[in-house]
Structure 1
Amino acid sequence: MPARIHAVIVVRPDGATPAAFHLKRTLAALDAQSRAVDAVTVVVCGGDERLTGLAADAGAGVVVAPASTKYGAAVARAPIAEADALWLLTQDTAPEPEALTALAGALELSPSVALVAPKLVRWDDRSEIVSLGVGMTRFGRSVEAADGELDQGQHDGRDDAMGADVRGMLVRRDAWERLGGLDPALHGADEGLDLAVRARLAGGRVSLVPAALVATAGDGVAGTLNPSSPQRVRRRAYARRAAQLHRRLAYAPLITVPLHWLSLLPLALWASIVHIFRKDPGLIAVEWAASVVTAVRLVSLARARRRIARTRAVSWSQLAPLRVTRAQERERLDEDPDAGVGGHVRSELRFFAGGGMWLVLGALVVSVSSFTALLAWPVLGGGALQPLQSTVAQLWADAAFGARAVGLDTVGPADPFAAIVALLGSLASWEPSRAVVALWVLALPLAALGGWFAATRVTDRSVLRIMGGAVWALAPTFVVALTQGRPAAVIAHLLLPWLFYAGSVAHRSWSAAGAASLLLVPVIAAAPTLAPALLVLWFVIIVLAAVLRAGQGIMRVIWVIVPTLVIAAPLVWHSVAAGSGWGLLADPGVTWSGPQVGADAAGRALLVAGIPTTDLAGWTSILPDGPTWWVPLLSAPLALLALVAPLTVRWAAGLAMLGVTALGVATAFGAVGVAVAFAQSTTVALWPGAGLSLAWLGAAGGALVALDTGLAPRLAAVRGAVAVVATLAIAVLAMPALTSAVRGTSMLELGTASTLPAFVAAEGRDDPDVGTIVLTPQADGALSARVVWGGSETLGGQSTIVNTRTEPSESDVEVAEIAVDLVTAAADDVVGRLAGYGVEFVLLAPADQPESDAARSMRLTAQTSLDQRETLDSVGDTVKGGLWRVTDEVAGRVAAPAGTAGIAAAIAASQLLVVAVALLLSLPTAASRRAARRTPRIVGPHWKEGR
């Protein structure tokens, strides 16, 4: 055995556990060694008197070092000149009684052995291995050979490895001095691996001694931190990544060092993308910090390379057999797919076996029966529906910052809803308007599918999941939106259950957070009135994560709102700067004043029942003279079940669902009767149905909670009956709307490819700069004027910044003056002014039917004036109205202000970047799927009774 062994214990009082607690056990363990240590030196970083007193009482020498001293520098302060071997310990490494005997015996076996390393086990559980050998990949990544495994002797036959953890390592003093000790640039990670690599290059051997057990708490004095908190995970990742990059530069051939150095920042960018895909965005800052620090520490790099060059006696090729291969790395880093957390293994989804597929197929049959005529329609019209642009390029042009498709010279941000329309139209790129028809036909089965999946977050009972899907698909506000032709409301209702499905578990994983962040964007874009309620829910979840989960997962929840903020920022900025912030709540798309409840007591009572229209969701058309007082009561079973939910075993989930319902009802109450947009000369109230969709989500979820756990075991048999009764009641409530198309009371109609005459549509199909001024007589004798660019007004071409202006802009005044001059025979040169703005056509559209006397008078006066103008050529009467063409030379459309293209590019780049990040986060990986299988599908505590 070596004649004299000197143990060096480095103590730094900045760990998670008081250093004195660990040091007492370590000193006691040294005193209990079967082979006594010849000398002990305790290096106290920071000069704590209690720690120095403990060391002195144990008979150890004490060296005081500055508090910031790293492990390698602290060991170098110990007086080891008379020792033959150096035992590297820390305050939290307590060796077992036979550890030194086994280590010294292995070191003495052969003079070629430069250092030996023990088996590190957990401080509080010696049956779990912390480290037993460390390997290294070709690019310098360190790979632990056995960390986290239960010690069943499976590795006791190993005695050779590339390197080992520095804690507990026994090193020959001559080798230690020849190698120059530990590399101080490694920042607490891979010091032992680097020392072992340099020892092998110097011609020495490295041996593992599995029989020598050393317990370690992982408090970070040496080696890597125990990842017991998110902060420690980031610190550990930084230390490992910085060490890997430093060793990559230190070990590389000199000729390739500049290339490696130049690749540091590009690799950091690539690694950032990989971290996003692997659902570890918190490591992006760590990656960049490690890369930048490594890039600037050239002095440390030069010192490390000189140390290697001075002692190297063998070639690097001799270490190649010890490198970790890609296959070995994947095998080691791959997690056990069957390992559960807390003993939980997620149950099967049972979409087919549980009846989910039959529900969707049934909803498809009902949809086809209700909207049979739509199957032959190329364009859907009526209500707030309009055709889509004819090409995908024009669809996405409407979604970009720039000149708007309505208004004389309006330049500004697009509505986020335009991007949804563009995405929808792109699915039928050959004829985009057919995508809206397909959406209407598939709306009911898609709603049933979304409702079924949302129900899986509440219950695992098949019958209740079917109830959830059916109730969601038959919601009065949804079927009314379908029959009235409200595309934004339909899209919001279809996406809300998926937002609940992903958002309710966003705190668990980055995949769910990424999916929720992508879903929140179109939900807010289609239903801006939901923004306040969803913001409240987001804030509540953050508070709960901070209080109940000690902040765990809070960054995932915070991320959920980031894409929405980035996408909405241009429109918000423009609207607030223009003094029309309230206009942000306007319903997107076509501004249409359709039938809905009023702000009186009767209207609010219908909202409480989930009904957004005064015709009781169509029942007054079936029973025009019969009693209809009972219709709102059809929602009562669902409401009563939701109210019972907080009284069940799952009271927390019940309260949450009731809170969602309250927020939805409050949103509907706030929306009804409030008008922030204008359709010609008419103010248009906000649609309260979006708030009712949110309220319906909460009520349906609460009802499922009540039925899932609210019945005593002896009454469990009636669960299915109650679910059927509640679902049938909602089906009866939805029946008039679902049969309205068959009965001829639906507002849906066969649409046209353009809202403008065919002559204009042909001109503007490929030229979006073809301008048309549309004049529409009003019922009170006034005249409405608007400018449309391209071949048609479109669903995606509508603009909130135009439809919600409360004060006329200069271009609005100009359009009004031109319109008045056009219908006034005495006005001269008005057509020239029109041509100067690039407007080529004048359309005198028909007034709303039935046409009033004042509107007829205005129409005839305007027609006479337009016919008399020599610079207007009458194209003729069309179904869209009378059309004239400007015969003067028409100038090009007014150019956008300088810098508009740059602003548009910057906005598009930032929005695409955040969407790409969210998309990468949402994509599942093998690891995220395994993690999901180890967490319950249902949110919150749930009943364990059989299904």
Structure 2
Amino acid sequence: MPARVHAILVVRADGHPAAPFHARRTLAALDRQTRLPDDVTIVLCGDDPRTLEAVGAAAGGDAEPESASAESGATVLRAPAGTSFADAVELATRTVQILPATETSAVASGSADAVAWLGDAASGATAVARTATAEPPVARTGDAVWLLAQDTAPEPAALERLAGALEVAPTAAFAAPKLVRWDDRGELVSLGVTMTRYGRTVGLADGELDQGQHDVVEDVLGSDVRGILVRGDAWRELGGLDRALAGADEGLDLGVRARLAGHRVTFASQALVAVAGDGVAGLPTPVDAVRRRHIAYAARTARLHRRLAYAHPVALPLHWLAILPLALWRTIRRLAAKQPGLVAPEWAAAAVALVRLPAIARSRRRIREIRKVPWSQLAPLRISQLELRERLEEEPDAATTTPARGELRFFTGGGAWLVLGALVVSIAAFPALLAWPVLGGGGLLPLHPVLGQLWADTAYGSRAIGLDTVGPADPFAAIVAAIGSLWPIAPSRALVVLWVLAIPLAALGGWFASTRVSDRPVLRFTGGVVWALAPTFLAALIQGRPSAVLLHLLLPWLFYAGSVAHRAWVPAGAASIVLALCAACAPALAPEFVVIWIGALALDIILRGGRGVGRIVWVMVPAVLFAAPLVWHQLRSGSALGLLADPGVVWSRPQVAADASGRASLAAGLPTGDLAGWATMLPAADLWWVPLLAAPVAVLALIAPLTQRWAAGAVLLVVGALGLVTAFASVGLSVAFTQSQSVPIWPGTGLSLAWLGALGGALVTLDAAIGSGREPGLGHVASPVLARRLGAARAGLALLVMVAIAVLAVPSLTALTRGAALIGLGDASTLPAFVAAEGREDADVGTIVLRPQNEGGVAARVVWGASETLGGQATIVSTRPRATDQDRDLAELTADLVTPAATDVVARLAEDGIGFVLLAPSDPPESDAARTLRLGTATSLDQRDGLVAVGDTAKGSLWRVTGEVAPRPAAPTSATALAGWITAAQLIVLGVAVLLAIPTAASRRAARHTSRVVGPHWQEGR
């Protein structure tokens, strides 16, 4: 048994509100020991008055150097608040004399010789005061050091049993106690620590209930540092704790070094020490996000330091070089595990391990000096990978736990039949699409036939339209490229397939969005039908508006994921991706998305205390990053309103006017002035009833805030109102231009958002206002007969809504058959076949397209490659508020081409990389002015030296430059570098979002314990 025990107690005055109480209990526990420590050294870190008072009372004074009591046997040392446990212990060991087993000496533990002034930077101490009773010379069999912290309260017999364990194990360097919870001694905190072959720390019994099942354990690799009793000679030999471990794995590292020095580590399972987890010694209890990040940083820093300290000299450089790649790999794993908050600590620990070479050298030197046995002696005490997998295997859900959500019932609840029926309707409405290789008409264009160029159009750089336009692509181009990649052999066919599947995909999205509103099959079915047959969606289909079609398909998934984004990272990650896609398809809705996002933040802060703020904030990050290059470019060019322009082809199509009748149509949810196509089938005077078909949805949505689920109903009503306001504003706002016309923003995107809010509100009303005795509703229904009648009433109202919307959709669903649709069989290229063939081989082939205008003048544009493509369109070209230098150059070039007097125009074409001139026909019907201008231009081009006529084509008359054509002007080097950085940043953020959105087994289990339906109790996370 040790002759003397020196207890070192580290008390951190600042940081934890319960520190004074914990310190008092620990000091009181020391006084109640059956075997009292011979010396007690208290290292007081910080200057919190309450903790100073607690320590001063235990020391017999006020914890000041000049006033510590000589009767208490305690030494009080002062140190800065940020002093680590290892530094504090080192400071304390400098003031005590630890004698080996064979040495006899006369020491007065409280003598004046022990009073010293320590002012070195390593310890940070300000003063030392020792106060104890002088003792006569005695013979010692060896001293020991007992390491304690303010939150480690030993049981009365703890020290006696620890000392006994050292006595029966003479080769043990230290004995470790059983650590139990501060407020429940029946739960284990730590009972030994081991590690894997790769240095991962594994607790042998952490968090288990103490039933004595581990009391037979005596020999371990290491332990928690709290409460261990270390032999004095081993303490000096091992050099104490490694200060570079950042507060983690200190006991494990001490055990490893003890084993290498030929000692053992023993356990005194009957010695109990209660720990509270303040973080003074060891890692703190992970009660909040800040502590979890601190734990992750400390644990990873310690693991990397130990890996470098333990590594073979030959492998050391490889381990050091692998730090950053491992940080990247572990970042991916953290994101996949839905732990983005632990990514920053991962990289911080990696940075520290990279630069802290002197600390690694000291640790390696210390091990080299004390090592007496080979590393292979530690192998039996390590944990194998098989044992680790068994230990870390997640517990299944308890049998007594009832999930908060039932089965989805997609197949048994009618969802599968809904999608199948919608597919039949789509084929019946668009039968010709099954044979079309390319879809044309309206705002549709072919896709680039080469996948590489399809994706090249998504990057910052030279645009496919314009004389020499360099700038960011529209985010919508990336969506087009992704769709085209689904059919890599013929990307344009992927758009045809999308049109065929659009209605069933909309029904599927509507059904899933309805699962956030109700768990009733009839209401989910209703939601799918109404969303698939919404007038704004069908109008976009028959008019050929790809961005509007995609927005309508994406919005229900944004609602499905975004409505529960505050709950977990999986829906937050999915919502962030879908929001970026929606903003790319409908920039005009970006302000509304921001308003809804701010409202979600406010609701989470008010109702849930901000527990989901981080996840809600992330939802906006990908959308902001993907739009940032375009936003920056448009703001610099003075075209802020151009950010609201519809992406894709700019084309003028008559739509509702910005007057009272037009806004009345918008209020009824109809984006066109022909009353959803009924005006093409019946006389306008007989169509007064058409807007009333949308009335059932509107009335039910307005009632939603008056039901018991008023919160969900009110939010959805606000969403619908925002969409309606957007539609009203869009018809009066023109920010894009084509040829000589300005084009208003398509109001259908705003109406899609309005339909989402209105449909959701209607379903809330049907779900909540007509309840039964077992379901949410207005009250308890005592009679089963009455309950059945109310259920029949709900089904009847749902049927009324579906029939009304189906009648409203009849003209649109028959438009292609009646020849009233704008879509049709498209061409593989908008340029003549001669140019298209050459453009497939060389994407830098330039063609200037001249189109005489019926009002007079010529519209000109330069097309690069084989064709104008949907992904090659750019709003930075179509929304320029003023002419640029390139616009003026193109205007001068066009004027010279149509004017016979100009002589050097062909040479200028060749210098600019333009090899073809196409004189396209005017829009029918051709006016006399346009015909005259076309014939005059053709005559002028025929007379040009250096131009040879290729011939008349279906696309117009074509000429080719016969001389040497210079390569297309390359984008500046700075633009190329910028494109690389932008692409890298966007791909990183997209990768993070995808990793967060991929569900795991743990996330699925957690989701089962939350309701699928959102509301009415927002504060409960529903």
TM-score range, shorter chain: over 0.9
CA contact (8 A) 1:122 1:216 kept: yes
Matches of 1:620 and 1:340 in 2, distance apart? Answer: 61
How large is the Cα RMSD of the aligned pairs?
Answer: 2.7
> What whole-Å deviation, never above 9, does each CA across 1:330-377 have from its counterpart, x for those lacking one?
333333242699975543222222222111111111111111110011
Which residue of structure 2 aligns with residue 230 of structure 1? 289
Which residue of structure 1 aligns with residue 811 of structure 2? 736
Tell me by how many angstroms 1:547 deviates.
4.3
- 242, 247, 257: which is aligned to 1:198? 257
> What whole-Å deviation, never above 9, does each CA across 1:897-918 have from its counterpart, x for those lacking one?
4444333333333322332333
2:848 partner SS = strand
> What whole-Å deviation, never above 9, does each CA across 1:657-688 have from its counterpart, x for those lacking one?
22222222222222222111111111100011
- 565, 569, 572: which is aligned to 1:513? 572
Change in CA separation of 1:189 and 1:703 when aligned onto 2, cut-off 3 Å: same
Which residue of structure 1 aligns with residue 10 of structure 2? 10
Which residue of structure 2 aligns with residue 64 of structure 1? 77
Q: After superposition, where does 1:798-817 map in structure 2 within 5 Å?
A: 798-817=873-892
* Greater CA drift, 223-232 or 389-398: 389-398
Matches of 2:508 and 2:550 in 1, distance apart? Answer: 14
Tell me by how many angstroms 1:309 deviates.
3.1
Letter in 2 for 1:61: A
Q: After superposition, where does 1:205-220 map in structure 2 within 5 Å?
A: 205-220=264-279
CA contact (8 A) 1:44 1:51 kept: no
CA contact (8 A) 1:65 1:74 kept: no
Change in CA separation of 1:339 and 1:681 when aligned onto 2, cut-off 3 Å: farther
Tell me by how many angstroms 1:324 deviates.
1.6
Change in CA separation of 1:841 and 1:343 when aligned onto 2, cut-off 3 Å: same
CA contact (8 A) 2:242 2:363 kept: yes
CA contact (8 A) 2:41 2:77 kept: no
Q: After superposition, where does 1:918-937 map in structure 2 within 5 Å?
A: 918-937=993-1012
Letter in 2 for 1:314: V
Matches of 1:765 and 1:299 in 2, distance apart? Answer: 60
> What whole-Å deviation, never above 9, does each CA across 1:570-601 have from its counterpart, x for those lacking one?
22222222212211111111001123212212
- 820, 836, 859: which is aligned to 1:745? 820
Change in CA separation of 1:678 and 1:932 when aligned onto 2, cut-off 3 Å: same
* Greater CA drift, 748-757 or 53-62: 53-62
CA contact (8 A) 1:364 1:445 kept: yes
Which residue of structure 1 aligns with residue 441 of structure 2? 382
CA contact (8 A) 2:710 2:1016 kept: no
Which residue of structure 2 aligns with residue 562 of structure 1? 621
The question of 1:585 aligning with 2:644 is answered yes
* Greater CA drift, 284-293 or 315-324: 284-293
CA contact (8 A) 1:42 1:55 kept: no
Letter in 1 for 2:78: A
Matches of 1:750 and 1:535 in 2, distance apart? Answer: 39
The list of structure 1 runs, each at least 4 consecutive aligned residues, that deviate by more than 6 angstroms after superposition, is 340-343
Letter in 1 for 2:879: T
Structure number with larger C-alpha Rg: 2
Identity %: 63
Which residue of structure 1 aligns with residue 959 of structure 2? 884
Letter in 1 for 2:883: P
Which residue of structure 1 aligns with residue 89 of structure 2? 75
The question of 1:24 aligning with 2:24 is answered yes
Which residue of structure 2 aligns with residue 795 of structure 1? 870
CA contact (8 A) 1:44 1:63 kept: yes
Matches of 1:906 and 1:178 in 2, distance apart? Answer: 53
- 356, 376, 382: which is aligned to 1:297? 356
Letter in 2 for 1:184: R
Which residue of structure 1 aligns with residue 486 of structure 2? 427
Matches of 2:233 and 2:893 in 1, distance apart? Answer: 97
Which residue of structure 2 aligns with residue 89 of structure 1? 148
Matches of 1:335 and 1:484 in 2, distance apart? Answer: 53
Which residue of structure 1 aligns with residue 666 of structure 2? 607
* Greater CA drift, 19-28 or 265-274: 265-274
CA contact (8 A) 1:46 1:64 kept: no
Tell me by how many angstroms 1:489 deviates.
0.6
CA contact (8 A) 1:367 1:444 kept: yes
* Greater CA drift, 445-454 or 879-888: 879-888
Which residue of structure 1 aligns with residue 546 of structure 2? 487
Matches of 1:150 and 1:464 in 2, distance apart? Answer: 48
Matches of 1:742 and 1:387 in 2, distance apart? Answer: 23
Matches of 1:98 and 1:644 in 2, distance apart? Answer: 70
Tell me by how many angstroms 1:438 deviates.
0.3
1:9 partner SS = strand
2:847 partner SS = strand
> What whole-Å deviation, never above 9, does each CA across 1:23-56 have from its counterpart, x for those lacking one?
2222333444455555544332225431322322
- 48, 52, 55: which is aligned to 2:55? 52
CA contact (8 A) 1:677 1:684 kept: yes
Letter in 2 for 1:409: D
> What whole-Å deviation, never above 9, does each CA across 1:41-87 have from its counterpart, x for those lacking one?
43322254313223225946141221232212323416474884433
* Greater CA drift, 655-664 or 90-99: 90-99
Tell me by how many angstroms 1:320 deviates.
0.4
CA contact (8 A) 2:14 2:47 kept: no
Which residue of structure 1 aligns with residue 969 of structure 2? 894
Q: After superposition, where does 1:771-786 map in structure 2 within 5 Å?
A: 771-786=846-861
Change in CA separation of 1:352 and 1:824 when aligned onto 2, cut-off 3 Å: same
- TM-score by length of structure 2 reads 0.87
- 150, 153, 159: which is aligned to 2:209? 150
Matches of 1:790 and 1:301 in 2, distance apart? Answer: 59
Matches of 2:215 and 2:716 in 1, distance apart? Answer: 55
Which residue of structure 1 aligns with residue 750 of structure 2? 691
* Greater CA drift, 388-397 or 816-825: 816-825
- 453, 456, 468: which is aligned to 1:409? 468
Matches of 1:684 and 1:744 in 2, distance apart? Answer: 25
Which residue of structure 2 aligns with residue 349 of structure 1? 408
The question of 1:624 aligning with 2:683 is answered yes
Which residue of structure 2 aligns with residue 848 of structure 1? 923
Matches of 2:967 and 2:74 in 1, distance apart? Answer: 90
Letter in 2 for 1:387: P
> What whole-Å deviation, never above 9, does each CA across 1:778-831 have from its counterpart, x for those lacking one?
221232222222222111111111111121222222322333333334443433
Change in CA separation of 1:131 and 1:940 when aligned onto 2, cut-off 3 Å: farther
Tell me by how many angstroms 1:282 deviates.
2.4
* Greater CA drift, 363-372 or 413-422: 413-422
- 452, 455, 472: which is aligned to 2:511? 452
CA contact (8 A) 2:697 2:759 kept: yes
CA contact (8 A) 1:615 1:621 kept: yes
Change in CA separation of 1:887 and 1:47 when aligned onto 2, cut-off 3 Å: closer
Matches of 2:199 and 2:608 in 1, distance apart? Answer: 36
Matches of 1:129 and 1:658 in 2, distance apart? Answer: 52
Change in CA separation of 1:908 and 1:121 when aligned onto 2, cut-off 3 Å: same
Tell me by how many angstroms 1:480 deviates.
0.8
2:315 partner SS = helix
- TM-score by length of structure 1 reads 0.94
Matches of 1:711 and 1:102 in 2, distance apart? Answer: 69
Tell me by how many angstroms 1:742 deviates.
2.0
CA contact (8 A) 1:135 1:142 kept: yes
Structure 1 unaligned runs (5+)?
A: none
Which residue of structure 2 aligns with residue 818 of structure 1? 893
Change in CA separation of 1:804 and 1:107 when aligned onto 2, cut-off 3 Å: same
Q: After superposition, where does 1:898-909 map in structure 2 within 5 Å?
A: 898-909=973-984
Q: After superposition, where does 1:497-576 map in structure 2 within 5 Å?
A: 497-576=556-635
Tell me by how many angstroms 1:422 deviates.
1.2
Matches of 1:720 and 1:119 in 2, distance apart? Answer: 64
Matches of 1:892 and 1:731 in 2, distance apart? Answer: 56
Matches of 1:588 and 1:808 in 2, distance apart? Answer: 20
Matches of 1:436 and 1:262 in 2, distance apart? Answer: 47
